[in-house]
Amino acid sequence: MIGRRSRTPLPPGKYRMGGKHFKNDKAFIKTAVGDVQRLEKYCGLNAESALFDWGCGAGRLAVGVREHLGRIRDYHGVDIQPELIEWAQENLSGPGFRFTYLNVSNERYNPDGSRERDLSVDPGSVDVFYAYSVFSHMNDEDTAGYLTLIREALSPHGKAFVTCFVEEDVAGWEENPEGYGPLDWKGRLHCTRFAREHFEQHVNAAHLAVDRFEYGQETDGQSLYVLRCR
Ligand SMILES: C[S@@+](CC[C@H](N)C(=O)[O-])C[C@H]1O[C@@H](n2cnc3c(N)ncnc32)[C@H](O)[C@@H]1O
């Protein structure tokens, strides 16, 4: 059963996820439960849903699902960092909860991975697609390509909850913009920022529509988009 095993702590510094944002277990769980509540409210998440957690890291959202809903029909977390997925499989998988490692490329997290984009999901099978702080570390071409794959993954009434850095009147896509946000960005794709219009052009091109937009309230000043099929 999920959560019943004695959990092995992740070795500090050996994995990359969330930086300094989760100061302790309580804060980690609180953010996860809060996100599950927003998925209920904005995307219709319920016990019968298929929830896809893209870039799940060590499974923060799965912890929130367990705390708040017990279990749902299908939680599926995928990530490109094998040690995080191994940890999640060992500590969080169980009935209704599964994790998959994908060896695809991201210049920050898995530069040697395959250039062929993949979500490892059946078309039209996802009720709620969650991507928290994933487009905030992604190049422009992959962003456009993955939005198309998200559209293909969603069921006709499915919704996608995604966060990213967007601003008005800035370059279409920029890596580690100087003087922007609360951190001193270092290394490939530490912060990727879009012009709002540019990001929404990708959304439109993927045959998605903006259902909700909330500016600047997410981690480090990211904005929230809820997307639906059109
Ligand atoms: C900043 S972390 C966010 C983790 C998690 N979503 C959360 O909010 O706790 C970004 C995660 O996205 C993953 N990632 C980046 N590109 C990805 C891709 N193409 N497919 C799957 N995961 C990806 C990284 O490995 C990393 O774990």
User: Which uninterrupted H or E stretch holds 27?
Assistant: helix 25-43
Residue 2: the pLDDT is 43
| pLDDT score, position 28 | 84
Predicted confidence at residue 22, as pLDDT, reads: 63
Residue 219 has pLDDT above 80, yes or no: yes
pLDDT at 82 over 70: yes
Structure confidence at residue 3 (pLDDT): 42
Per-state percent for the chain, helix, strand, coil, to nearest 5: 30, 25, 45
Backbone φ and ψ for 108, nearest 5 degrees, come out as -90, -45
Q: How far is the CA of 227 from the centre of ligand 1 (A)?
A: 19
Question: b/e string for 89-124 if b means 16 or more Cβ within 10 A?
Answer: bebbbbebbbbebbebbbbbbbeeeeeeeebebeee
CA of 106 to the centre of ligand 1 (A): 9
Q: What does the pLDDT average to over 50-78?
A: 97
Q: Work out the pLDDT band at 64, boundaries 50, 70, 90.
A: very high
Beta bridge partners of 87: none
Model confidence band, residue 27 (pLDDT cutoffs 50, 70, 90): confident
Separation CA 28–CA 125 (nearest Å): 28
pLDDT at 12 over 80: no
Which residues have CB under 6 Å of ligand 1?
17-18, 54-57, 60, 78-81, 84, 102, 104, 106, 109, 132-134, 137
Mean pLDDT for 166-180 is 98
Q: Return the percentage of the chain with pLDDT > 90, whole number.
A: 87
Q: Sign of the C-alpha dihedral, residues 109, 112, 118, 119?
A: negative
* Three-class secondary structure of residue 50 per DSSP: strand
How far are the Cα atoms of 8, 171, 204, 226, 230 from residue 55, in angstroms, in the given order? 21, 25, 22, 17, 24
Question: Using one digit for the tens of pLDDT, what is the confidence trace for 179-195?
Answer: 999 999 999 999 999 99
**pLDDT at residue 160, as a whole number:** 99
If pLDDT is split at 50, 70 and 90, which confidence band does 4 have?
A: very low
Q: Residue 226 Cα, ligand 1 centroid: separation in angstroms?
A: 18
Domain spans of the chain, in order of start: 38-229
The CATH number given to 38-229 is: 3.40.50.150
Closest ligand 1 atom, residue 104 Cα: 19
